[in-house]
Structure 1
């Protein structure tokens, strides 16, 4: 069945395409600057998770691919990338990480992308994970697991235990307002609380028992909150939810997980402030070329 021409025309209207990609050469300096800031607090994993979620939520899938191309190469955080400059980055001229580390970083990015479903929806996640997959080298694609470990673990536990796990995570973010919030959601739709607790917080945002031994990369409690904050900040227009998840990030230290030094910093007031600021700068970097081009056109017309 073919789509009529008039309908095809309508489909091309009202911004159907993602944001244009400024290009890795223009993005590399902001990547390097923000990575250097994160490295000072041993929060490189947090930087990669936050940057992935930011570009996904901002609807710039091809930039997610460029983020991997950047992150898969060695940066000394002093303005150079291997033997070349990050501002000239065609990046094959720089030294890539060994296969194991490139695979771990790709796995972390796709895990952050998967958890972003809860905050920005399936369509953006599909497009960004597709772009990420296209950017991966063949050896990394071959090394990444194809087994749905999370699904299998959740199924083996049963939905009752998955829901209990989800309630624990939900409580850790929204306490002392948990019951009040769930009651309010139930007024919006009677299935809403159960769906959120079981299928979003339980099945996806929280990790199954034994997950760390199965997963190639873990987006833990602190990074999950950081991903949520990044998605909501980059999306805009959801102030109350953003505030709730900033509180959730600050409470991550009390969840009972062993956190690295970098993740502990992310869950501090300074770390949360950095996350918000880095998201703003990364989103702004997507619009700078358009602004410059428009200003140049305006000057030429004068």
Structure 2
């Protein structure tokens, strides 16, 4: 099946309303698709996703002018960039670089010109870094409730630098930033990334974490269905469908 058809089916799974921009940014069809395509290291296929989203925007009746369409495209690209950036926790920096490079090339110049040019995660001010780490601790505790200290102690036992990396950099600097992507969406990115990499122990942890962050069982099923559709397209043996726990 052509990828454009697979993506169209995923969009149907998520019941996207193509007539309005309302709720489009919070509909996770393109977030999940972006994570899986990046995680499987098929960055060039982001062009098909971009084409579909451009067509979606053109059909939205509440974006009547070129300027409104341009601003909305910039919001989508901003969300895709941070999706790929946060997803590196699951699939690694090299794949994130590949996808971000492709996304940059696919972004029209007029959209690039209105995207932020400064980091949304400043490190020049120590107080900002303290705030990042505080948010990171809160996110970590929520995801791994009721045993966050046990998980962190296990990481420290494996290698103290891993403990520090996860706490300060992974959760503090990368994952806890809420300005573009919410904690709930962050959990969806993590579990989708783990599913695409077939790292089952981490996936099981992030399924629970997603439920703690307000993800519904229906939304989990949507992630599984979308991910498996892309695995089938790429002719990759699908991961075993995980059992969703009651939390």
1:272 aligns with 2:189: no
Q: Partner residue of 1:291?
A: none
Q: Partner residue of 2:169?
A: 199
SS of corresponding position for 1:148: coil
Q: Partner residue of 1:68?
A: 50
Q: Partner residue of 1:132?
A: 103
1:103 aligns with 2:74: yes
TM-score, normalised to structure 1, is 0.68
Match of 2:160 among 184, 190, 193: 190
Taking a change above 3 Å as real, the CA distance of residues 67 and 40 of structure 1, as seen in their structure-2 partners, is closer
Q: Partner residue of 2:129?
A: 159
Which of these two proteins has the greater Rg computed from alpha carbons? Answer: 1
CA drift of 1:163 comes to 1.9
CA drift of 1:191 comes to 2.0
CA drift of 1:219 comes to 1.3
CA drift of 1:188 comes to 0.7
Q: Partner residue of 2:185?
A: 223
Distance 1:27 1:246 in 2: 27
Distance 1:232 1:65 in 2: 23
Q: Partner residue of 1:241?
A: 202
State which drifts further: 66-75 or 48-57: 66-75
Q: Partner residue of 2:242?
A: none
Distance 1:120 1:151 in 2: 24
Contact kept, 8 Å, 2:122 with 2:128, in 1: the verdict is no
Distance 1:135 1:70 in 2: 13
TM-score, normalised to structure 2, is 0.83
Taking a change above 3 Å as real, the CA distance of residues 48 and 156 of structure 1, as seen in their structure-2 partners, is farther
Mapping 1:1-302, distance limit 5 Å: 26-39=2-15, 45-74=27-56, 98-152=69-123, 155=125, 157-207=127-177, 212=179, 218-236=180-198, 238-253=199-214, 267-287=215-235
SS of corresponding position for 2:146: coil
* Alignment deviations for residues 180-210 of structure 1 (CA, whole Å, 9 cap, x no partner): 1111111111122222111110111001xxx
* Alignment deviations for residues 122-151 of structure 1 (CA, whole Å, 9 cap, x no partner): 100000111111111121121211111222
CA drift of 1:66 comes to 2.4
CA drift of 1:158 comes to 4.2
* Alignment deviations for residues 192-249 of structure 1 (CA, whole Å, 9 cap, x no partner): 2222111110111001xxx63xxxxx2111111111111111111x111001111111
Unaligned runs of 5+ in 1: 1-21, 76-80, 83-94, 213-217, 254-266, 289-302
Distance 1:155 1:249 in 2: 31
Contact kept, 8 Å, 1:185 with 1:193, in 2: the verdict is yes
Contact kept, 8 Å, 1:165 with 1:202, in 2: the verdict is yes
